[in-house]
Structure 1
Amino acid sequence: MAAATLGSLDAWLAYKARGDLAFKQGAFDLAAEEYTGSIDSWGQATSVPEADQQQKVYANRCLAFQRVQKWQESLEDAKAALQLDPAWLKGWFRLGAALLGLQLPQEAIIAFETGLELDGGNVALQQQVVEAKQLLKAQQTSGRKKPAASQAVLEDVRNFLVGTIAALKLNGNPMPAGQDDPPGTKAAKRRANRHRKAATTGPKPKTPEEEAEELKAKGNAEYKEGRYTAAYNSYSAAIAKAPNAAAYYGNRAAAAMMLRNYKVAADDSTKATQLDASYHRGYVRAAKAYLCMGKLDMADRLYEEALQQCPPDGAAQLRAERNLVHTVRQRLDLGRAALARGDPREAQWHADAAVRAVTPSPETAILLRCEALLAAQKHAEALSESRGLTIEGDAQAPEVLTFQASALYLSGNMTMAQKMYEAALSKDPDMAACKKGLKRLRSQNSSKEAGNTAFKLGRWQEAYDHYTTALEADPHLRTTFVAQCACNRAATCMKLSRHEEAVKDANMAVEADPGFTKGYLRRGNAYLALEQWEDAVRDFEKVKDMDSSTPDIDSLLKEAKLALKKSKRVDYYKLLEVSSTADETELKKAYRRAALKFHPDKVATEEREAAEKQFKLVGEAHAVLADPEKRQKYDQGWTLEEIDQGHCCGGHGAGGGVDMDDLFAHMFAGGMFGGGGTGGGRRPRPGGFY
């Protein structure tokens, strides 16, 4: 069954709303399940619904059961609704419909006609009476008797009808003749005689004390079956009949304990001891309830009182329970001390020991474990653990909601964190920790939104400042929110040509959220701007692996790889000290200058080897850049080896590098740096120079 929705609504009302929706959609089994959840949560609700609200839930579940022909369940719900208010018209209608489904037309007629006594003009009830009479006549005509299995049900129904009609009389409803039959007519007299006979021939109405005992017995049976909410409600009904019976409060306290409604359990147990000072169980249950709430001083005092009331044979067991108070206190003290000195692992160890010491576990021990998990950066685990956290049995206590808000905030779910903070403040507007957390969160969100707006308007520095404000609000936060803000600030740095800052912000983004694809993409672009080609390729490949559908990732990766490839070649333009747009004349002049500069005959002997290498490269550069086809391929990222292989494939002779003899012949063919052809053939050389 789904958990109750979050907010100011109690769980029971949230269940009812889902049940209503399921019913409208025709999902009657699901609707019944949700209504059951609503009824079961009454014992845990921060405010128990009024009787008229309870009636509606019972009536709705009753109708859902009828739609799937679960007549016995429907009957029980109709009875429950009428027990809350015997004068409720819809309850009689639902009861009659359930009885018809159980093939009990005579009893259904009584139910429908009782409803008509309350509203004689109700057409739907009149139609149901006709239908019930037709079924009764059909049964009498066929001679079919009621199945044996329904005899117990029949007896229970008749007793219920007699008792409820009597309750109507006691409440000032004298059951006059039907308003649809004029007084004094035969029909009115027959109707009145029928009700009079039903009210006088059955067993006499029970006293409130007798009814209370029956309700207590019913609650005991439900408790043994593990139906603690039903037991709680039965004990509550018994208390309403006999409000001065200590045992009833004690029993309801036991049911409340099983429902983890410790505050109610403590109050009921205390009430029981006030009504009967010798009621030993009251002291024990109150002590256990306070222990579970983590109110250890009160628990210790009550165990002491219980020991004074305890029979000798039970003292040892009670002392053992009292010792648990000291065990829990010691573990909590040690755990809190560990947390204070920054050791969440040890804090969790002590918290776990306190949790295991008592069943149900003390709320303060569960809270300490949640706090330790949060301090250990296990945000998701802390949030999951807090789902079972209560304060005084209330899962919607402001302290619980505030902790869950903090866990959501540290997990990066800013939207849900804000809703949770607001829900906590609606319950306790003065809660300082909650107010502080909500104020910080709202400031972060507003700064981020302001940054986004400024960025869209092209106000880069203003956007940068807003993102900085959002990030500085909590410098230790490492979530997706931080990743987004840092990545956005990196984008503003790119716009401001502050590429190294952009890299730092992108680093912050991927550290805060390693799965944040946009952080790697942003850093890759910054590396491109910084001409750090290998880093750019690595980041773009990471993005492609994480999400191959990222826009432009293929072209960006191709661009980075091409730039990286170019960076590993000799930059011929740089070597000749010309721009990439230099024309033929500029290239010739640059070539001659470079050749003269690196000519082996122009340098000292010890520098000649290095000069020869540079001289060769100058020749290669000129050979490639002076050839339009080769130059085009070079500009496209081809290496010298690829260019030469391309010549081979194209049938232009053996390629590969430039021979020293060719280079000298070329330079001196027409005199010193004069014009002239290249002359001479080239000896093949494997590979080429980068």
Structure 2
Amino acid sequence: MQKILTDYFRPLLVIYFSLDLTLKDVVASAELGVEKHLELGKQFLAQGQLNDALHHYDEAIRGDPLNYLSYFKRATVYLAIGRAKSALPDLNKVIQLKPDFKQAKMERGNILLKLGKLTDALDDFESLAAIGHPDGQSQLEVARPIVTFMEEARHLVENNNYDEAIPLLTDIIEKCPWSVEMRELRARCYEYTGDFHSAILDLRPTTKLVSDNTAAHLKISHLHYHLGEAEESLREIRECLRLDPDHQLCYPHYKKVKKLQKQLKGGEDLKNEQRFEEAIEKFQAALTTESSIYHYKLTSYVKICECYSKLNMFDETLEWCGKAIEMDQHNADALCARAEAYITQEMFEEAIHDYQTAKDSDHHPQKVDDGLNRAQKLLKQSQKRDYYKILGVKRTASKQEITKAYRKLAKEWHPDRHSGADKEKAEKKFVDIAAAKEVLTDPEKREKFDNGEDPLDPEEQHGPNPFNPFGAGQGFTFKFHFG
């Protein structure tokens, strides 16, 4: 029997002791006193410790839920920390408990005005103006015209008069900065006029003003995407999925942006590793994923153009650089890549033209100035002695190809194989062939020459000619053996 009684009362004892603990907490708070909580809240508010102030006002309201001052002071803290929507219920409660509290009604009217809730705001201002409150009358004069302005703005947007609507909406938002409807309307205007950044700035506050605002996060993500800002687009769409993991519109967009970003980044990494063929494949895949948005198309065209230029594939370079330049005629990267391709074909005037076009843009990288200077030097150099032409090799020729060409020409033009009038011509030709081999098989000298400087030109080197295969002022006799 004792066991049965114990088992019966045990749940009641648990409830009792739980209630006892709760009652102790209430008693402890009551012992501190509502007035003390209000005083501490005031002190913390004055010190800027808003969370602590909020805690004590919460306790004061818990201790005395009919004290209108506690609600008013908590509303003041909410306003100080930017939580106007949280302050509104407290102000409603204040006015319910003390209908003649003018300051609370003024604060509520101002919040309603900022939220764009003009009908309710006007009710508060009119009631204050009716009893001669000066601020109520002045705010009434501010709020009344906004009702008309809002109707006019809606009409302009509905009729696609976006340019006219924007300044009107700007005036309204200055008075109603928390109006979700007006910000969304202006964002729509900005979007249709191509000012996506301003549209984003208008939509971002609405993600805070409206709880679980997945539509705003999705729209902001789309705007970033159209601007070519894939990282920002991903960040925003993840916020949408955080609120609703199965969102029917956010999830497909997330998958597409993530895939595109992975392709572009993968292509860039491969390009930096000089794995140009693989990089081209990645960028072409990105074009398949997104073939209509300007930024991503242009980026892919430019990157493919640069890769083909590095591979010394002239026709392909011209094709892809041409696509990029058609989209952006002053694109420095595409123009520089095509200019480099022209240089490999010794089309120096065409290279100079591309570099000059790139330089005509307001902001261009240093490589444009460097490339233009180099192309101009190469053009001038080509009008003198061109070692590549002397050996009959391309500018992209390997050392092995250069050596092979030298041996063939040296054998053909060796002075020992010529006589009479031809011997003098052969001697000059042989000197040029030997000089070409000297420069193009020496990495340092070849680099100088490729940059438009002849390392064997005494005028450019500011000294005696460093190359003379026969010795200064000496005769020579060639012995050439064809073994």
Per the alignment, residue 681 of structure 1 pairs with: none
Shift of the 260–334 alpha-carbon distance from structure 1 to 2, 3 Å rule, reads: farther
Per the alignment, residue 389 of structure 1 pairs with: 205
How far apart are the structure 1 equivalents of 2:104 and 2:352?
73
**SS of 2:82's equivalent?**
coil
- CA shift, 1:303, in A, is 2.7
Per the alignment, residue 233 of structure 1 pairs with: 55
Deviation larger for 394-403 or 214-223 = 394-403
Aligned pairs (5 A) from 1:626-665: 627-630=429-432
Per the alignment, residue 141 of structure 2 pairs with: 320
Q: Is the 8 A contact 1:236 1:252 kept in 2?
A: yes
Aligned pairs (5 A) from 1:357-506: 357=175, 362=179, 389=205, 391=207, 393=209, 398=214, 401-402=217-218, 405=221, 409=225, 413-429=229-245, 434-435=250-251, 437-448=253-264, 456=275, 458=277, 462-463=281-282, 465-472=284-291, 474-477=292-295, 484-491=299-306, 493-494=308-309, 497-505=315-323
Aligned pairs (5 A) from 1:254-653: 254-275=76-97, 284-294=106-116, 296=117, 299-304=118-123, 307-308=126-127, 311-314=130-133, 316-323=137-144, 325-326=146-147, 329=150, 333=154, 343=163, 349-357=167-175, 362=179, 389=205, 391=207, 393=209, 398=214, 401-402=217-218, 405=221, 409=225, 413-429=229-245, 434-435=250-251, 437-448=253-264, 456=275, 458=277, 462-463=281-282, 465-472=284-291, 474-477=292-295, 484-491=299-306, 493-494=308-309, 497-505=315-323, 507=325, 519=334, 521-529=336-344, 531-536=346-351, 546=365, 564-565=379-380, 567-568=382-383, 627-630=429-432
How far apart are the structure 1 equivalents of 2:260 and 2:289?
5
Shift of the 572–449 alpha-carbon distance from structure 1 to 2, 3 Å rule, reads: closer
How far apart are the structure 2 equivalents of 1:263 and 1:272?
15
Q: Is the 8 A contact 1:506 1:519 kept in 2?
A: yes
**SS of 1:260's equivalent?**
coil
How far apart are the structure 2 equivalents of 1:280 and 1:462?
71
- CA shift, 1:463, in A, is 4.4
CA offsets per residue over residues 268-326 of structure 1, 9 Å max, x none? 333444556666655554443343334x3xx4135326635765212524522532642
**SS of 1:488's equivalent?**
helix
Shift of the 325–440 alpha-carbon distance from structure 1 to 2, 3 Å rule, reads: farther
CA offsets per residue over residues 640-667 of structure 1, 9 Å max, x none? xx899989x9669xxxxxxxxxxxxxxx
How far apart are the structure 2 equivalents of 1:564 and 1:465?
35
Q: Is the 8 A contact 1:253 1:285 kept in 2?
A: no
Per the alignment, residue 48 of structure 1 pairs with: none
CA offsets per residue over residues 204-263 of structure 1, 9 Å max, x none? x9968x933443355456556666545433332221112233443343233323322122
Q: Is the 8 A contact 2:276 2:308 kept in 1?
A: no
Using the size of structure 1 for normalisation, the TM-score is 0.43
CA offsets per residue over residues 51-99 of structure 1, 9 Å max, x none? xxxxxxxxxxxxxxxxxxxxxxxxxxxxxxxxxxxxxxxxxxxxxxxxx
How far apart are the structure 2 equivalents of 1:569 and 1:492?
32
Q: Is the 8 A contact 2:109 2:121 kept in 1?
A: yes
How far apart are the structure 2 equivalents of 1:382 and 1:624?
75
Q: Is the 8 A contact 2:29 2:59 kept in 1?
A: no
Shift of the 321–434 alpha-carbon distance from structure 1 to 2, 3 Å rule, reads: farther
Q: Does 1:171 align with 2:24?
A: yes
How far apart are the structure 2 equivalents of 1:168 and 1:583?
105
CA offsets per residue over residues 482-503 of structure 1, 9 Å max, x none? 6653333224555564232132
How far apart are the structure 1 equivalents of 2:331 and 2:217?
26
Deviation larger for 496-505 or 562-571 = 562-571
* Structure 1, gaps ≥5 residues long: 1-166, 175-204, 588-618, 653-690
Give the percent of matched residue pairs that are identical in Structure 1 and Structure 2: 16
1:419 counterpart letter in structure 2: R
2:74 counterpart letter in structure 1: R
2:144 counterpart letter in structure 1: N
* Structure 2, gaps ≥5 residues long: 1-19, 395-404, 414-420, 440-448, 475-483
How far apart are the structure 1 equivalents of 2:342 and 2:324?
11
Q: Is the 8 A contact 2:305 2:321 kept in 1?
A: yes
Shift of the 244–310 alpha-carbon distance from structure 1 to 2, 3 Å rule, reads: farther
**SS of 1:504's equivalent?**
helix
Q: Is the 8 A contact 2:263 2:283 kept in 1?
A: no
| Count, aligned residues | 401
- CA shift, 1:422, in A, is 0.4
Shift of the 390–342 alpha-carbon distance from structure 1 to 2, 3 Å rule, reads: closer
Q: Is the 8 A contact 1:489 1:505 kept in 2?
A: no
- CA shift, 1:337, in A, is 6.6
How far apart are the structure 2 equivalents of 1:257 and 1:536?
63
Q: Is the 8 A contact 1:401 1:420 kept in 2?
A: yes
Shift of the 458–207 alpha-carbon distance from structure 1 to 2, 3 Å rule, reads: closer
- CA shift, 1:421, in A, is 1.6
1:423 counterpart letter in structure 2: E
How far apart are the structure 2 equivalents of 1:440 and 1:230?
45
Q: Is the 8 A contact 2:336 2:354 kept in 1?
A: yes
How far apart are the structure 1 equivalents of 2:230 and 2:157?
28
How far apart are the structure 2 equivalents of 1:259 and 1:226?
10
1:245 to 53, 67, 70: 67
Q: Is the 8 A contact 1:490 1:502 kept in 2?
A: yes
